[in-house]
Amino acid sequence: MTTNASPQPESGSALPALAACALFCACAFPAGPASAQSIIIDNTDSAPSFTTTGNDWTTWGSLGFGFDSGDSDYHYLSHTVGGSDRVGTATWTPDLPSAGVWEISTWWRRTENRTDDADHFVTDGSGSQTHIVLDQQGSGASGWVSLGQYPCDSGLGGCSVTLDGTDDNQSDAANAVKFELISASTPGDDDDDDATAGPDPCGGAELPPGTYVQESWASSITGNDWTSRPAAAGGPDGAEAHTPNADPGEFLRGAGFTLCDPVGDDTITNVQLEVLARTQYQSGQYQLNLALHGGGAAETVFTGTSLQWRTVDVTSDSNGWTWAGAQGLQATVELDSQPGGQRDSDAWVDAFRLTVTYSVPEPPPPPPPPGDDDDAADDDDAADDDDATEPPADDDDGTEEATPPSDDDDSADEAPSDDDDAVGALDSEDGAGPGLAPQGCAQSLDQGASFAILGLLMLSGLRLRRQSGTGRPS
């Protein structure tokens, strides 16, 4: 395990303290395991750990072709072996010892005839599915490729991975999937911790800005003149609902989709319905064309003898999608036309899927704190300064009027000089003078009155000293 180097102490005197701290920490907090707990499920493991559906899987390989020296073979979905319909899925289901956040990775052997569109579906502990597409082409070993980190429950099926190889005519490889514990949850843990650690839009925490996708399989199936209807519920598993002869008025409908409304603001930007289906004939007098729609104007018409996903974008069926509206959708497959004129043609459906894409916007910038507007503060200060400079002028007038008319010439000459100095000091303190902070208006008037009284007292003292001095002998 790689760790970051600790900063060195500035002086040797700190080393004993650091050593004592290290000794205490080692005793009080024992070290954890040297490596994260991991579980690897190989294609050679028996059910329920590793399972497949379909009839086209082939096992091949020898020592050195697996994820380690002891792994001798792998599965691949052949387009030359088995039935012409080429149906198949592979699922890895671990028995996890604890709930928590697990990183899930897959391993396969690259070859040139592999698919460039390997569809992996990760089901996490909340039942949400994440779709990841991988390119398996190339040469040599791929190494472990991460599918992401997910909140998983403990026990069998707390998380699972399914490779669906039925949507193209190339080979999908299925070898091993690894589950590595990143952080374990304990009773009382806040669910928000798990939700923010992996792509879990239903975990109760607000999602960061970005684009997200939710997928859900139909859980309830209804129809008219379709046999084995429940087989079309859930994800792809090779079990199919079947109509032995598609006629007008017959339909198969998937509903009961499960979505969650994420915490916070979001906008649904795209809604798609899909069906995994095939027809008996795609040309000639028995050609069968089927239609898929969600009850609105949007629909897609398809045909084809291989089991493939058919998609209809139903975003335009609503002016503004809500989560309740999307979850209530019903995907319907029914006859569109039989161009060849003959009606003896069959159809099969394996699964229905609803895919919703939505975006979480950037949060608006926070408003500035009160008083943080520099311009407004300057304006207020300037206004206050203007008001504050007016009272000193009034104070000057009041000082002159307060001069007693009976004062003699000497006292009149000295008192205005002292009063002017005092008023000048007041002007400076109030902001009229440079470099001094402005004072309040009331404070300026109080100080002016104080200095005026002080000046009068000083004049009276001088007058008494002069009068008493004239009677003394020189």
Q: Are residues 296 and 174 in the same domain?
A: no
Mean pLDDT of 82-97: 82
Q: Are residues 267 and 239 in the same domain?
A: yes
Give the domain range for residue 126.
Answer: 38-205
What's the CATH number where 100 sits? Answer: 2.60.120.260
Scanning 261-401, the segments in alpha helix (DSSP H) are 323-327, 374-401
Q: Are residues 180 and 42 in the same domain?
A: yes
Q: Are residues 260 and 345 in the same domain?
A: yes
Kindly report the pTM of this predicted structure: 0.43
Say if residue 32 is exposed, middle or buried (CB neighbours under 10 Å; 0-12, 13-18, 19+).
exposed
Task: Give the number of other Cβ atoms within 10 Å of residue 27's Cβ.
Answer: 8
Residue 473 lies in a domain: no
Residue-level pLDDT at 298? 97
Q: Are residues 154 and 223 in the same domain?
A: no
Residue 335 lies in a domain: yes
Q: Are residues 52 and 132 in the same domain?
A: yes
C-alpha distances (whole Å) from 400 to each of 194, 201, 397, 423, 458 are 80, 80, 5, 11, 17
Asked whether residue 341 carries a pLDDT value surpassing 70, the answer given is yes
Q: How far apart are CA 169 and CA 183, in angstroms?
A: 40
Question: Is pLDDT larger for residue 358 or for residue 13?
Answer: 358
Question: Is pLDDT larger for residue 201 or for residue 110?
Answer: 110
Mean pLDDT of 40-65: 84
Q: Are residues 342 and 435 in the same domain?
A: no
Domain count, the chain: 3
Strand partners, 215: 129, 355
Q: Are residues 229 and 275 in the same domain?
A: yes
Q: Element (H or E) spanning 410, and its range?
A: helix 409-429
Q: Are residues 382 and 350 in the same domain?
A: no
Q: Are residues 160 and 261 in the same domain?
A: no
3-state secondary structure of 381: helix
Find out whether 148 and 199 touch, Cβ atoms under 8 Å.
yes
Task: Give the number of other Cβ atoms within 10 Å of residue 237's Cβ.
Answer: 19
Q: Are residues 332 and 398 in the same domain?
A: no
Q: Are residues 297 and 180 in the same domain?
A: no
Residue-level pLDDT at 242? 93
